[in-house]
Chain A
């Protein structure tokens, strides 16, 4: 199955996945090597950051032009998959909320005091910025600085946190 397209100079050519090898250089920068081509520094970008974790990964060069589109990470060889996966992890960082300590409303902002997977944290949202429900049932809260906080499974939270969140989530 053809899982990638290589796009150089505006020409799209079908190519077999095993023509591509992804690796990381000593500083963690993702690189791709296509047979007969030069080693190229690239950045991966999920086309569907919430809906598809392992599929439709756009591989982009340093000028942010698409080099190729990986339709499914599983089709890559083990080393390449690891390298792309690691690079994706660096861009997909979000806080995961584990417990709500308090949500207070102040003038024009809502102040959240939460326990995340990274420890205790405070953040603020605008009053009319409501958590977004994703198709997967996950909730995403965006703070004033643009940081994202995810509530993966509301049922796994404690009773008090759920009580706090009740007003904000469906």
Chain B
């Protein structure tokens, strides 16, 4: 693939690597060759015939999407024959396509509309009767309108090849050909919505966005998804300060055009009716709405009082707040309150991994590495269920570069279908199982190892020792659950020496005076031993923890603030505020206001010494699925309506 090939397209000189398709070579000189069925990353089809071009010395027009460049090739995309061909292909497509534009959700962002305007005829010559079949609903969010379908098969390919699910198929032959769902008249799948977004027309549409607005009425804000740790960019369509939909329109993120069900549909927690919009204070055993000034003054004065008498603080930070907020909180705790009792809901043993690879460059894998490296080992994780972007990257790597995948898991996972070797291991047996793959892994030129929460403490060190012993370059990914789980560790939301209490220790500490909980729900299914502790909670909803609080401060969500968060593979990405909600403040604003009230100088960074103490039994993945997202997921109505099999993974059987 290294040699360059010289050719000409419309009299422009083009130089591209050998193997480049003419349709892509044309892009390098700014020439657009239209296509419906050609989609980068998916298998070639040559079905729509829109990309037909003239090639010197060829008697027939050739499809640019399947033609690789050749030295000295002369291609023309601007001749009358090509113009006529494009016009006629569009005319054929529009014969049975219904004139639904006024009522079709895709209007305004429809590729058929765009290409017809650009290359099509102004009038139709079709005067026969169109074939109509009624629209079908295949799931709460997937609607299918067969007459609109132009049979480009992008949806079938993205589901089967891209996602590895294969829930969409093709039935019948000829003009009555139809896309069909996998179970009778409906879909049982990941509900990721990739098919809806990849559809160039309005054949597949979203049930949650239906008829709400038009694409040109929305402001499209690309920000980072608020749910898992993979760091996908989701594009929120905002109209009148309300999020109308989420999709993959902004392709600039590490996820490209991938997005899962949560990134697409789980934004409706933002305007859930249970959103806290006013600070609450416990007065006489009941919550009372109070103004911000009163609530914050009460918090500041309590903190001041406890600090003066040398009382005990417990600070629980969030896995969903920004790096800037996390840094501010740890400074507040250490410098402002003088405490080392700071922790967060840890879901993977990143701290031990960081310690084990300290000082090494290139020991941690990026999301791009999962697409490029030649061998991947997955230990104790169900990627398709819990890390859908990472699963997508690995699957794309396997499709495009034939990478080799090895899995060591407790039960079947979707990656089994791609894996060269798969080993089942019960909890505790992972290292032995990995050891059994030594010979195969040693023969690889390089390796990326991803591991889940079952690998903690000394097992992490054991895994790194194993990797070191292979004699090949190895990179690691410690799988974490939440959007800024990584940032929580890297910004210091863990105790740095033996004096600092961990989260479980804070809960069992009987003499805790203050428990400050930011964006976390530790008291779900647990209670604080210190019955008399003063509990301050910053959150979006009245969670179990907030219900036990003395003061509740309503916080802004990820979609309502700016700042940076760090994905599981270490990409630091910027959040862009999409909407604002009355009555809430960002966590950063709250910290800064409190600091001001307490006259703290947060810029004076305290020195931090030593490495974090790792104690076993602390770390547990929340075990979220595609359809759950911790406490936040409870408030995502659309997401909750989609649960196929509670906690179950759609099994791809072939």
The answer on A and B forming one complex is no
Chain B residues in contact with chain A, CB under 8 A?
A: none
